[in-house]
Structure 1
Amino acid sequence: MPGEATGLALGLPLPPSAGKKRISLLVDLGHVASIARPPLLRQARAYAPLNWWSTLDRLDALALRHAVNVRVFGSLAWQSLTGLDYVSNRSDLDVLLEFQGETDIDRFVAEVAAIEADAPMRLDGELMGADGDAVNWREVHGGASELLVKSIERVALLGRHQFISGAMGS
């Protein structure tokens, strides 16, 4: 909009030891050194609490069987990226589940739910197709006929088949 500052808007959480405050920044694009995808689950595992490891291993094995990449965001991502203590005993595991066209989504989310049932933490996150469209995995698991699908350009209600087949981008 006219008169608004330009740049890359960032929101950074401080670790719990610093009060979990949120900092908002506007960074000039010329000062951005790199852009990277969120860490893979298997890369972040070493930074997770030991009592999470079994769940992380089960989730990683499930993803491998279904050709899904599992990335983390939230407290585990921040902890793995900074080395600071972000994960607490109340933390959930925030995951980005990147699936391919051949992935059996219904079977996959049913197995994610089974893993969560035995997990020491809540599993939260998004299923994301190759086109970048994403939906909360619980909506798909819950059998909703319409899903709230998010992309970088828009948010839309879409039929589950349309989402799974990647129709939002077309």
Structure 2
Amino acid sequence: MTLARHDLLLVRPECWAGVLARAHRAGWQPGAPALQPQARKLVAGWAEQGWPVIVRRLAACETSPLIAVGLPLPPSLGKQRIALEVAPQEVLDSLAGVHLGREIGSLPPRLAPQLGDVLDLAHACGVAPRIFGALLWQHLTGLEYVHGGSDIDLLWPLGEATDRNRLLGGLTAIDETGPARIDGEILLASGRAVNWRELRDGLVAGAEGTVMVKTLEGVRLECLQTLFN
């Protein structure tokens, strides 16, 4: 099974209790506050609801051969991120990423003009951005994840013909004039990802610099001169 960060996986409902028990035996979120009863109930029924988990990169202390995944609690239940691990045989299916589109009814109306500008930019640059973060989880679960201070989190998969400078310049303009902060990552063909602001700032500073690159295995610095090779 070939996976990348942000992939969405459905866990077999009959395996879910075992997934949670495994996390509990491993220390159940070391250093994190204990889950409140309502949060425990939500997590316990997560797979039965047909909601996915999201593939994440391994933490520095993790060495398990299992698939590292997670799920976030909504802000009303503490906004805690629950780190879990699943075995390949516990995965029922994978879900396609959710592309940003005007048809997504869970997006707040106040964001409509800004999101329209994002879609226009995406069309002009030939890119189909996917949502993640609060927008994604509200869309998938119907629970209230988006609030007044929520960012617009987007994944931008680059193609060979994508005008990177136009995309980064457009994102900067929309970010500066809209009501919400535009956050997210530029996805390279190799599966590596770079925060769009860090990439913009690095390119402005000069190609001799470095930028933080995220992969499923971890985070590392890479030279801008070779990033797109």
TM-score range, shorter chain: 0.7 to 0.9
Answer with 1 or 2: which has the greater Rg. 2
Q: Matched residues in 2 for 1:26 and 1:153: separation?
A: 15
Deviation string for 1:55-99 (max 9, x for gaps)?
Answer: 111111111111112001110000001111100111111110111
Could you tell me which residue of structure 2 aligns to residue 112 of structure 1? Answer: 171
Say which SS state the counterpart of residue 94 (structure 2) adopts. Answer: coil
Write the distance in 2 (CA, Å) between the matches of 1:148 and 1:37: 26
3-state SS of paired residue (1:12): strand
Contact 2:68 2:83 in 1 (8 A): yes
Q: Structure 1 155/112 Cα, relative in aligned 2: closer, same or farther at 3 Å?
A: same
Q: Show the counterpart of 1:131.
A: 190
Describe the SS at the equivalent of 2:95.
coil
Greater displacement, 73-82 / 35-44: 35-44
SS state of the match for residue 120, structure 2? helix
Runs ≥4 in structure 1, deviation > 4 angstroms? none
Residue 43 of structure 1: how far off its partner (Å)? 6.8
- Partner of residue 13, structure 1: 72
Change (3 A) 1:152 1:9: closer
Aligned to 2:221: 157
- Of 120, 141, 148, the residue aligned with 2:212 is 148
Secondary structure of 1:47 counterpart: coil
Q: Distance in 1 between matches of 2:89 and 2:222?
A: 37
TM-score by length of 2: 0.65
Give distance in 2, aligned partners of 1:121 and 1:147: 25
Q: Deviations over 1:4-34 (max 9, x none)?
A: 6542222211111222222222223212111
> Judging changes above 3 Å, is the alpha-carbon distance between structure 1 residues 44 and 72 closer, same or farther for their aligned structure 2 residues?
farther
- Percent identity over paired residues: 38
**Equivalent residue number for residue 76 of structure 1:** 135
TM-score between the two structures when normalised by the length of structure 1: 0.85
Partner Cα separation in structure 1 for residue 224 and residue 104 of structure 2: 31
Count matched residues: 162
